[in-house]
């Protein structure tokens, strides 16, 4: 079953004109902003496929910038988001790619400031629903429609178990989980969708575990 | 979710003696652990957004970013008010409101995707015109949105709801079927009549291609929203008159799925075929983007 809620069908409430090219695009970049955890100084956005070909007519560009500013899909400020970002001193660059991708509506978003860099690849699958396919070079797959947690940690034995253990103690069930690493012993990434909400206390407990570098939580509705 | 097919849904309404909208509300409460108020309030918000979009589209000068659409909703509204028209008031009102909503969408206004932004005008067009005709309460209109949502969920989970996936029959077709079933409930029809209306409506959309000019949600989308709204009203009236869909709704949905799979990629939102590949469309595309689309 692909759709579970009546509001997947009657919704989202959004700035037009396209649920996939406008609302979906804004959701991908809002997820990126949420995981980056702060306002970026610079953003490089690469558009592929149908995004690359029709972005001007669909407002995909302003939708993505709107998401980076943490605007919701129904925030009218999306229309003026490029001007707003410029006034805030955010350097935004669009790259239009003719590279083939698995899905026609794909965007790569690279965010940076003095201290951090973060990259996400997302696809807009229709009706405003999105999937994230890559984070910092790690291939992953989750919808972003239910709350999810992202943990960046060192690739050591026992780390995954210790995180799962914390969730178990708080009676939080993991609905979906994916772990990835670039090479043995390097930095690893864990993505989890949970059935119950994860609050700040849980996050703090996970952050305090050895070898855990970063924990982020995001709910996109 | 409590139902996976239209047959399941109708069986539940008969067994529990409830309307389709009520089954949908209860299913949403159960699946997402929400109170009735939360579920209803969520839908009320959508109804208000629809109302605003209609008003904007009928009264303001709308123009899309590309310049391809805008102003027809207002034009049609003036024509309707003149009193000299061929078809009926209610049907023309539904069309008017569908066009207005679609144009607001194309111009980056705030809308509710039902089920997508491309098919945004059909459900509000049909529901608001029906409410005017029947003097329906806000509650009736909210319930109609739940009924439409229930139908849309079945279609989305058994076939598709976007033009890119299954052609316009999946997008405008789904919205039309949803709207037809919803207004039947508003008019006091039975759940079976809603199912017949959706079957009749969707049958008449089978094979419809998604061929947007310059790849934009404007031409022919706005006018297909108009025709979707009209189709929904006629299908509802036929069902309310006691006419059945000879092919049951679930089988029509399945047929729509198979037709969608058989449609070539050139007719699924790629702007490679159909109206998008006409000389005028190619000329407009060049004017909008400064170069051919090269899809």
Q: Give this complex's ipTM.
A: 0.96
Q: From the first residue on, what is the mean pLDDT of each consecutive set of 10 residues in chain A (221 residues)?
A: 87 93 95 90 94 86 97 96 96 93 91 91 87 86 71 91 94 88 82 86 93 80 48
- B266 occurs within a structural domain: yes
SS (H, E, C) B119-176: CCCHHHHHHHHHHHHHCCCHHHHHHHHHHHHHHHHHHHHHCCCCHHHHCHHHHHHHHH
Task: Provide mean pLDDT across the span B133-150.
Answer: 98
Q: How confident is the model at residue B218 (pLDDT cuts 50, 70, 90)?
A: very high
CATH 3.30.1330.90 in chain A: give the residue spans: 6-142
Q: Write out pLDDT tens, residues B239-272.
A: 999 999 999 999 999 999 999 999 998 999 888 9
**Angstrom distance (rounded) from CA A60 to CA A65:** 9
Closest residue to A126, CB basis, from B32, B165, B217: B165
B152–A5 CB contact, under 8 Å: no
Q: Residue B46: inside a domain, yes or no? A: yes
Residues of B in contact with A12 (CB under 8 A): 112-113
Asked if the C-beta of B40 comes within 8 angstroms of chain A's C-beta atoms, the answer is no
Question: What range does the domain containing B266 cover?
Answer: 6-288
Indicate which CATH number applies to the domain containing B72: 1.10.4100
**Beta-carbon-side half-sphere exposure of residue A119 (alpha carbons within 13 Å):** 10
Report the distance separating Cα B116 and Cα B113, nearest Å: 4
Does a structural domain hold residue B295? no
In a domain, B186, yes or no: yes
How many domains in chain B? 1
Nearest chain A alpha carbon to B145:
A10
Query: Can you give the pLDDT at residue A1?
Result: 55
Give the confidence band of B86 by pLDDT, cuts at 50, 70, 90. Answer: very high
> For tokens 């990126």, what's the residue?
A32
Q: Is the peptide bond prior to A116 cis by the omega test (within 30 degrees of 0)? A: no
- Helical packing angle, A24-36 and A60-68, nearest 10°: 30
C-alpha closest to that of B5 among B195, B258, B145, B204: B195
Which residue, among B100, B217, B253, B286, would best test binding to A if mutated, counting the most A CBs under 10 Å from its CB?
Answer: B217
**Which residue in the set A2, A10, A128 is minimally distant from B148, CB to CB?**
A10
Chain region(s) in chain A for CATH 3.30.70.260 = 148-218
Give the CA distances from residue B1 to residues A79, B155, B175, in Å, rounded to whole numbers and listed in that order. Answer: 37, 14, 21
Q: Is residue B262 part of a domain?
A: yes
The neighbour count for residue B37, using CB atoms within 10 Å, is 10
- Split at pLDDT 50, 70, 90, the class of B211 is very high
* pLDDT value at residue A194: 86
Name the region of A206 (left: φ>0; alpha: ψ -120 to 50; beta: rest): alpha
Cα angle at A14 between A11 and A19, to 5 degrees? 70
Residue B294 domain-assigned?
no
A6-142, which class in CATH?
Answer: alpha beta
* B129 occurs within a structural domain: yes
pLDDT (average), residues B181-190: 98
Q: Are B121 and B102 in contact (CB under 8 A)?
A: yes
Q: Which residue of B has its CA nearest to A18?
A: B117
DSSP-based three-state secondary structure for B33: coil
What CATH number is given for A148-218 in this structure? 3.30.70.260
């Amino acid at each position: 079953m692909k759709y579970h809620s009546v509001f997947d069908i009657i919704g989202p409430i959004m700035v037009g004109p396209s649920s996939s090219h406008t609302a979906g695009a804004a959701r991908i970049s809002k997820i990126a902003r949420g995981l980056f955890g702060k306002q970026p100084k610079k953003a490089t956005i690469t558009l592929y496929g149908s995004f690359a070909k029709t972005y001007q007519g669909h407002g995909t560009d302003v939708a993505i910038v709107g998401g980076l500013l943490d605007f919701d899909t129904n925030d009218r400020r999306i229309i003026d988001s490029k001007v707003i970002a410029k006034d805030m001193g955010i350097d935004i660059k669009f790259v239009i790619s003719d590279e083939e991708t698995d899905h026609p509506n794909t965007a790569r978003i690279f965010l940076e400031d003095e201290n951090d860099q973060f990259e996400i690849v997302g696809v807009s699958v229709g009706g405003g629903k999105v999937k994230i396919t890559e984070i910092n070079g790690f291939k992953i797959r989750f919808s972003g429609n239910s709350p999810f947690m992202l943990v960046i940690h060192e690739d050591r034995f026992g780390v995954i178990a210790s995180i799962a253990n914390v969730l178990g103690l708080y009676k939080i069930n993991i609905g979906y989980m994916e772990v990835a690493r670039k090479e043995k012993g390097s930095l690893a990434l864990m993505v989890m969708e949970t059935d119950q909400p994860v609050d700040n206390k849980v996050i703090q407990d996970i952050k305090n575990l050895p070898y855990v570098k970063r924990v982020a939580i995001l709910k996109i509705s | 979710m409590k139902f996976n097919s239209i047959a399941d849904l109708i069986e539940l309404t008969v067994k529990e003696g409830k309307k389709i909208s009520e089954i949908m509300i209860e299913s949403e409460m159960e699946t997402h652990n929400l109170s009735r108020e939360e579920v209803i309030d969520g839908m009320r918000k959508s109804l208000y957004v629809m109302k605003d979009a209609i008003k904007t589209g009928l009264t303001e000068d709308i123009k899309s970013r590309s310049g391809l659409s805008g102003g027809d909703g207002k034009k049609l509204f003036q024509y309707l008010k003149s009193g000299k028209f061929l078809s009926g008031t209610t049907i023309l009102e539904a069309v008017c409101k569908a066009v207005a909503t679609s144009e607001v969408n194309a111009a980056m206004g705030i809308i509710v995707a039902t089920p997508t932004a491309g098919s945004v005008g059909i459900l509000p067009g049909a529901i608001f015109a029906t409410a005017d005709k029947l003097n329906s309460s806000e509650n009736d209109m909210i319930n109609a949105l739940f009924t439409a949502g229930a139908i849309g969920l079945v279609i989305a989970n058994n076939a598709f709801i976007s033009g890119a996936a299954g052609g316009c029959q999946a997008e405008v077709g789904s919205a039309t079927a949803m709207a037809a079933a919803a207004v039947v409930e508003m008019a006091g029809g039975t759940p079976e009549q809603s199912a017949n209306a959706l079957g009749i409506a969707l049958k008449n959309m089978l094979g419809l291609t998604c061929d947007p000019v310059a790849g934009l949600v404007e031409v022919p989308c706005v006018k297909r929203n108009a025709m979707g709204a009209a189709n929904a009203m006629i299908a509802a009236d036929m069902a309310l008159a006691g006419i059945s869909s000879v092919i049951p709704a679930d089988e029509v949905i399945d047929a729509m799925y198979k037709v969608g799979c058989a449609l070539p990629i050139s007719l699924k939102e790629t702007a490679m075929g159909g109206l998008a590949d006409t000389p005028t469309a190619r000329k407009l595309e060049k004017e909008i983007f400064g170069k051919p689309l090269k899809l």
